Structure 1
């Protein structure tokens, strides 16, 4: 990680995500409030159990998923974390990379109340798929503003 937040809540969260595995998932969930919300481009849930199911499913369908935190900023009850996510889709296959960011809101007890992930599913995932990727790259080119000359 490039820049570790001096905030102990964020430091604990970063450490938990960078060490995340099926066996450490329950410890990560202890950093979340029982009624915490989680949202990413594919999911929107409330509660520790549904959040845990999302990460559990990640370990079931992906090969060696791993988060590496790049930067953190914490101010008051808010934290912003940039990260890289690396995974495989099949053993011995291509490694995929997603760059994203999380906005975290902490409660009075220091637990995560809200976690929202931001990443571009079109650029980071869909464009890398054979058939859909060609269409997404074409659309991106058609919708892009021409460079000033």
Structure 2
């Protein structure tokens, strides 16, 4: 590989077997996630898991379980589907689609995002950081607030 100016760039390091196996287990777990499975998150995460998304920044298994219990309380049929995976050493990047129905809004929801996973030596996930556009994929769809967010985006020139 090389950069646009012709300089050589080393390829990223290959993922270790625990990372490959851990990523496969984690993806399978989340694609089959149920309210009951939330209690088994310790099968695929470390006790000190650090989880970040646009609405949460929590540390620890109990805190992560609360996040997912809240999701099931607020939504009908939430589902994750991983569409792509990429690795760079002990890091796995996932591209995913999340769908479900928000009960209070009586609205179907679809969010596309990316996750950055970091692993412990045993292949369990120790850090899960979600990246997705909460403004465009969430806030703009809310009644009242959505109109304000769209107006601000237009005024800022990002329409």
TM-score class normalised by the smaller sequence: 0.7 to 0.9
Instruction: Output the CA distance in 1 between the equivalents of 2:41 and 2:84.
Output: 19
Find the partner of 2:156 among 119, 122, 143. 143
TM-score for both structures, normalised by structure 1? 0.87
Check conservation: 1:89, 1:95, Cα contact below 8 A.
yes
Q: Which shifted more, 96-105 or 18-27?
A: 18-27
- Match for residue 48 of structure 1? 61
- Match for residue 57 of structure 1? 70
Question: What residue ranges of structure 1 are gaps of 5+ in the alignment?
Answer: none
Larger Rg: 2
Find the partner of 2:136 among 123, 128, 143. 123
Q: Which shifted more, 99-108 or 23-32?
A: 23-32
Moved beyond 2 Å, runs of 4+: 26-29
Shift of 1:45: 0.9
- Match for residue 113 of structure 2? 100
Find the partner of 1:30 among 43, 46, 62. 43
Matched, 1:68 2:81: yes
**Secondary structure at the residue paired with 2:67?**
helix
- CA root-mean-square deviation: 2.0
Aligned in 2, Cα 1:145/1:49: closer, same or farther, shift over 3 Å?
closer
Check conservation: 1:103, 1:115, Cα contact below 8 A.
yes
Length, aligned pairs only: 141
Instruction: Output the CA distance in 1 between the equivalents of 2:123 and 2:140.
Output: 38
Shift of 1:145: 5.8
Deviations 1:51-97 (A, max 9, x none): 11110111111111111111111222101001111111239x43111
**Secondary structure at the residue paired with 1:130?**
coil
- Match for residue 10 of structure 1? 23
